[in-house]
Structure 1
Amino acid sequence: MPRTIRSVQGDTLDRICHRVYGQTAGITEQVLEANPGIADLGPVLPSATVVALPDIATQSPSTATVQLWD
């Protein structure tokens, strides 16, 4: 069963995903699916909106090496 949180003033779903999961790529879509109708509330959620947070396995950010000179 997913846990839930309540949004605070100015929260967006992306901001909540970043705060809870540490990333948004691929996560926001899953949280949207777990919360039918939440997109209808607009980009900035009303304060105290209940958001279900499904169990999502996140990956650590990639640490690719970039060579700037030859």
Structure 2
Amino acid sequence: MNGVTYITRDGDCLDNICWRHYGRSSDMVEMVLEANHGLAELGAIYKENIEIFLPEVIEKPIAQNVINIWD
């Protein structure tokens, strides 16, 4: 699995880490928690020097139903 390792600073929280890295936290927090077993047990605010793996996001194409008024 491709991605990067983030080393926490004192007071970091996962939603802010995801926001800074991915540009959003929606769905990303859950994905990062799945990739880092035991991270949820550390609480919401982290101490420094915790390694968190941030997996690469592969965007799936969004299927769009285009309705053409001429069809």
**Would you say same fold, with TM above 0.5?**
yes
CA RMSD of aligned residues (A): 1.2
Percent of aligned pairs with the same amino acid? 38
Rounded to whole Å, the distance in 1 between the matches of 2:26 and 2:19 is: 9
Quote the residue 2:8 is aligned against: 7
Rounded to whole Å, the distance in 2 between the matches of 1:37 and 1:15 is: 19
Query: What are the equivalent positions in structure 2 for 1:1-70 lying under 5 Å apart?
Result: 1-57=2-58
- The one-letter code of the counterpart of 1:23 is R
Stretches of structure 1 lacking an aligned partner (at least 5 in a row) = 59-70
Compare CA radii of gyration and give the structure with the larger one: 2
Q: Secondary structure at the match of 1:31?
A: helix
Rounded to whole Å, the distance in 1 between the matches of 2:5 and 2:33 is: 13
Rounded to whole Å, the distance in 1 between the matches of 2:25 and 2:40 is: 16
Moved over 3 A (4+): none
Q: State TM-score, norm by structure 2.
A: 0.75
Q: Secondary structure at the match of 2:44?
A: coil
Residue correspondences, number? 58
Q: Secondary structure at the match of 1:51?
A: strand
